[in-house]
Amino acid sequence: MSAALSFRNLVVCALMIALVLLPVYVKVSGNIFVLTLFTRIVILGLAAVSLNLILGYGGMMSFGHAVYLGIGGYAVGILAHEGITSGFVQWPVAVAASAAFALVIGALSLRTRGVYFIMITLAFAQMAYYVIAGLARYGGDDGLTIYKRSQFFAPLDLTNKTQFYYVCLAVLFGAIYVTYRLVNSRFGLVIQGSRSNDVRMRAIGFPTYRYRLTCFVVAGMLCGLAGALIANNTDFVSPSMMYWTRSGDLIIMVVLGGMGSVVGPLIGAVALLVLEELLSGFTEYWQIILGPLLLLIVLFARGGIDGLLAKFSARVGA
């Protein structure tokens, strides 16, 4: 069986088509809640895709990735609060601010490895959390309400739920495509080589630090964009969107979906958030079910759900 037609690829295609057609289903069924849920899933999926770039491909175990959600979100929130509502200003500022922050965190943390790397990324993210929680002018702890969503050109209206969903989906698919090109380029091979064996990379002639730093900044920028989308989705930003447990959620999505697979994090985001939704409908103690489920995935399916699908395809194909 050819790789292009494997079971796994069919599932991925089906998922993508389902995401594209979702608003049609919503229109027919009138179930607007599904659209709200999936807008959130698509945005967090984008954040997970960006985390996967450093975690899955680069082997950089960042425990502070949600900080860019906050920075991107607050870039939109603060600009809106100051009367600048053009998305052509807000979104580039969200991305640039995330890039600048990633450059600083990365420059320091990438000199370390393992636990130290985790601790430094976590510490920076928490620091940013407390700084933003202390900005009294912008709501401090209570957060900041956004009265006007990002403005683009005429027919595009982000307050329209369907339009906004498609904007988010387009950004997500764009990010997945960019990731795909990136990880299969010379740059991507260097990043993966460095994950695999950094000492060897340097021995054969790669100054790996600058490549890893670049990768770290690109991931931060993509996640900052997700932050700008979240701010528009909820019309509200608060420090809690960059709290460290949120970084943990992103890691869970990546691990659950499949590290180092381009669409894995999207699968992980869909699986986690849909499961959360379904289980919490059953019982208040849904985390008691979700926890062991995650354990099973981590213990027995090291490539996550995407790895399971690929394994299943290989068996069927043989």
309: contact with other proteins by CB under 8 A = no
287: contact with other proteins by CB under 8 A = no
Cβ at position 95, least distance to other proteins in Å: 16
C-alpha neighbours within 13 Å on the C-beta side of residue 86: 5
Record the tokens describing residue 224, joined without a space.
Answer: 């900052």
Contact 86, 151 (CB under 8 A): yes
Closest to other proteins by CB, 57 or 165: 57
d(C-alpha 172, C-alpha 133), whole Å = 29
Q: Binder to other proteins among 107, 142, 148, 207 (CB under 8 A)? A: 207
Closest to other proteins by CB, 192 or 234: 192
The distance between the two most distant Cα atoms of the chain, rounded to a whole number of Å, is 63
Q: Binder to other proteins among 9, 162, 214, 240 (CB under 8 A)? A: 214
Q: Which residue has the tokens 């021995």?
A: 203
Closest to other proteins by CB, 22 or 223: 223
Record the tokens describing residue 317, joined without a space.
Answer: 């194909």
Q: Binder to other proteins among 4, 28, 204, 299 (CB under 8 A)? A: 204
Q: Find, among 64, 91, 65, the residue nearest to 230 by Cα.
A: 91
Closest to other proteins by CB, 148 or 302: 302
Element holding 221 (H helix, E strand): helix 208-234
Closest to other proteins by CB, 213 or 251: 213
302: contact with other proteins by CB under 8 A = no
Residues 174 to 203 in contact with other proteins, rule: CB under 8 A = 181-182, 184-190, 192-193, 196-197, 199-203
Number of residues located near other proteins, criterion CB under 8 A: 24
d(C-alpha 205, C-alpha 94), whole Å = 35
User: Can you list the alpha helix ranges (DSSP code H) found in 58-147?
Assistant: 67-81, 87-109, 114-133
Element holding 143 (H helix, E strand): none
148: contact with other proteins by CB under 8 A = no
d(C-alpha 273, C-alpha 279), whole Å = 10
What SS3 state is found at 82? coil
Closest to other proteins by CB, 25 or 187: 187
d(C-alpha 278, C-alpha 280), whole Å = 6
Residue type, 82: E
Cβ at position 178, least distance to other proteins in Å: 9
Cβ at position 312, least distance to other proteins in Å: 19
Residue numbers at the binding site for other proteins (CB under 8 A): 181-182, 184-190, 192-193, 196-197, 199-207, 211, 214
